[in-house]
Amino acid sequence: MEHVLTIEDWAAIGLTLRLASVVTLLLLLIGTPLAWWLARTQSWLKGPMAALVALPLVLPPTVLGFYLLLAMGPHGPLGMVMQSLGLGLLPFTFSGLVVASVFYSLPFVVQPLHNAFESVGEMPLEAAATLRAGPIDRFFSVVVPQARSGFITAAVLGFAHTVGEFGVVLMIGGNIPDKTRVVSVQIYDHVETLNYAHAHGLSATMVAFSFAVLLLLFFMRRSLQRAAT
């Protein structure tokens, strides 16, 4: 039995990697200030905001996808804003997949960053402040170097989690070749058509990819820990 990947499989892999790359970049841009605020604030909003960020961890993906679909639809708040700007609707588009994936993978980026920022402590920041370093200078010269492992963990987990999405992307993107058909949906298609050989080939590829990502994360974190000591 052959397990050769088809042209459609490679197209799905390419789309998935493009989606994961874009989403990871956006997650780091959004998650970094959010995680920093959660690590530093004493506001009463910290608890509700932390719970909101972690919500995708406990919600079924189809539930999150359903409400995102309503929000992005023609009568939803996000959909109405998009239409008023003349940008069109997000469901069943690559941009829609990006927005949904950012929501779904957010805790996998924010939580490692949050833990890394909290581990920095106050003393290095106070020492930098005595040298007249401003808040932005202190963040980039003190916090970022000490939180490198957190950034690496966040980027790897955000990327890997986006690659493995199914329920949310199926609800928001559907199954449009070369536009929204990612790897998980392609595997589902193979199984639905009883094409187990190709499903096995693509699934085995993703198992190998996932293992390689986790192994890379392990060695990178160990390397940083050795460098720190």
Q: What is the pLDDT of residues 41-62, one digit of tens each?
A: 888 999 999 999 999 999 888 8
167 found inside a domain? yes
Give me the domain span that covers residue 186.
7-55+93-228
Average pLDDT, the chain: 87
162 found inside a domain? yes
**Domains held by the chain: number:** 1
65 found inside a domain? no
25 found inside a domain? yes
Per the listing, tokens 């392990």 go with 218
87 found inside a domain? no
Q: What digits encode the pLDDT tens for the residues 93-117?
A: 999 999 999 999 999 999 999 999 9
Q: Which residues contact 64 (CB under 8 A, 6 or more apart)?
A: 55, 56, 100, 103, 104, 167, 168
What pTM does this model have?
0.87
CA 201 vs. chain centroid, Å, equals 25
101 found inside a domain? yes
d(CA 158, CA 29): 12
What CATH number is associated with residue 108?
1.10.3720.10
